[in-house]
Amino acid sequence: MRLDGQSGELGRGLESYVFIPADLEEQKVLATGVYGTKLVAVEGTYDDVNRLCTELSAERDWAFVNVNLRPYYAEGSKTLAFEIAEQLGWELPDRCVVPVASGSLFTKIAKGFEEWRDLGLLEGELPRMNGAQAEGCSPVATAYAQGQDVCRPVKPNTIAKSLAIGNPADGPYALDLARRTGGGVDAVSDDEIRAGIALLAQTTGIFTETAGGVTTAVLTKLAAQGDIDPDERVVLVITGEGLKTLDAVRDTFETYSIAPTVEAFAAGVPEAVSV
């Protein structure tokens, strides 16, 4: 985008098309479309969208900007590990719970720790790496539970749309990382995801989107199973804000509608505290 010096009007830069699954959350659609791109809703999953984009870019003189293909995403993901180590006083955590979609973020956080350890900035073993998926799209968690080294593609059906990658490119690497660090990959239901969103909000004041609900729910599950020692220092990776997935928490709490009087409050709000 540029400003024309003579007319004072804004001129457009490169033309762009953004391809999304047709059932993507409305908040994400609005936050993307406002920038002026040509928004294309594809009747399919993220896997279908990625496949279509690959075909189009092969036939046209287009650049395909996709986080699963660009090395910048992989390298950029390592900075989460850098920030974690720095905020912990240049120490490694005991465990990290990370959402898994393609598996890239999960594996690259570990890569970041390894690189700083190789440079001598960190010491000790890698943290136990626990991956988190939704049951409605859990090819990596399923492969882990079944002792397999590859992931069988699935058709996603979950409220955690940001993690809905049915054919994860880095799935085999995520499985290897979980096993060699003594971690794991677990899946949780949509109801558990909603409960995870609420738990994080009510205990930390952080309103996360569905991917964060997945990681919080998996952490809750691990703690309930006794898989986490109370003395462990655990890092929970929250990757998005709740304002992007408002439908996930709709109707999960009650709102009382009353007239603006003390009497209406006392009558309309159960167990209202009296002063």
pLDDT tens digit string along 52-109? 988 888 888 888 877 656 678 888 899 999 999 999 999 999 999 999 999 999 999 9
Domain that holds residue 18: 2-59
Residues 99, 224 share a domain: yes
Pairing of strands 95-99, 128-134: parallel
Q: How many domains does the chain have?
A: 2
Residues 54, 185 share a domain: no
Answer yes or no: is 257 within a domain.
no
- For residue 273, the model assigns a pLDDT of 63
Q: Which two tokens stand for residue 254?
A: 């009650």
CA dihedral 79, 82, 88, 93 (to 10 degrees): 90
Instruction: Pick 54 or 208 by higher pLDDT.
Output: 208
Number of Cβ within 10 Å of residue 62's Cβ equals: 13
Nearest to 111 by CA among 99, 132, 96, 126: 126
Residues 110, 19 share a domain: no
Residues 10, 100 share a domain: no
For residue 148, what is the domain's CATH number? 3.40.50.1100
Residues 77, 55 share a domain: no
> Model's pTM, two decimal places?
0.84
Is residue 19 within 8 Å of residue 52, measured between CB atoms? Answer: yes
Report d(CA 163, CA 245) in Å as an integer. 13
Give, in degrees to the nearest 5, the angle at Cα 36 between 71 and 34: 95
Residues 33, 83 share a domain: no
Answer yes or no: is 116 within a domain.
yes
Answer yes or no: is 113 within a domain.
yes
- For residue 258, the model assigns a pLDDT of 87
